[in-house]
Amino acid sequence: MTAGSIVILLLGVAMLVSAVLLVRSSSRLPWPAIVVAAATSAVCFTVGGDSSEGPTGPSVATVAASVAGLLSVVAAIIALAPKGSEEGPAPRTPIVLSAVGIVLGGLGLLLSLLTG
């Protein structure tokens, strides 16, 4: 196992742990989860772009990066959408969407490590 593989493994595990911590957090602010999901997308694109799959198709990490990035953008749009006139707690939907993106990105990294 090379040093690069160990770094990818540690990043994947750190992403999964951060997703769990963000969902279990009592904070109602969605922005930390959205930022971590965007960072997950960036890391997955970096790892997926580095793999030389050839013309057969994108790597697993690249596909996971695109899904994580899409979910982080959707979560940001939902977080920025104006709420109704009622003053209640902020919905956790952006946090959950971001966490799903983080989990998919972490799993994509681990799967790309196994398949590549």
Tens digits of residue pLDDT in 37-55: 999 999 999 888 765 556 5
Task: Show the tokens assigned to 13.
Answer: 């595990």
Domain count, the chain: 1
In order of 28, 51, 95, 96, the CA distances from 31 in angstroms are 9, 30, 8, 12
The C-alpha atoms of residue 42 and residue 30 are separated, in whole angstroms, by: 19
Average pLDDT over residues 79-91: 72
Residue-wise pLDDT for 29-39, tens only, equals: 899 999 999 99
- pLDDT above 80 for 90: no
Query: What residue numbers bound the domain in which 107 lies?
Result: 3-115
pLDDT for position 55 = 59
The percent of residues in the chain predicted with pLDDT above 70, rounded, is 88
pLDDT for position 49 = 76
Mean pLDDT (the chain) is 87
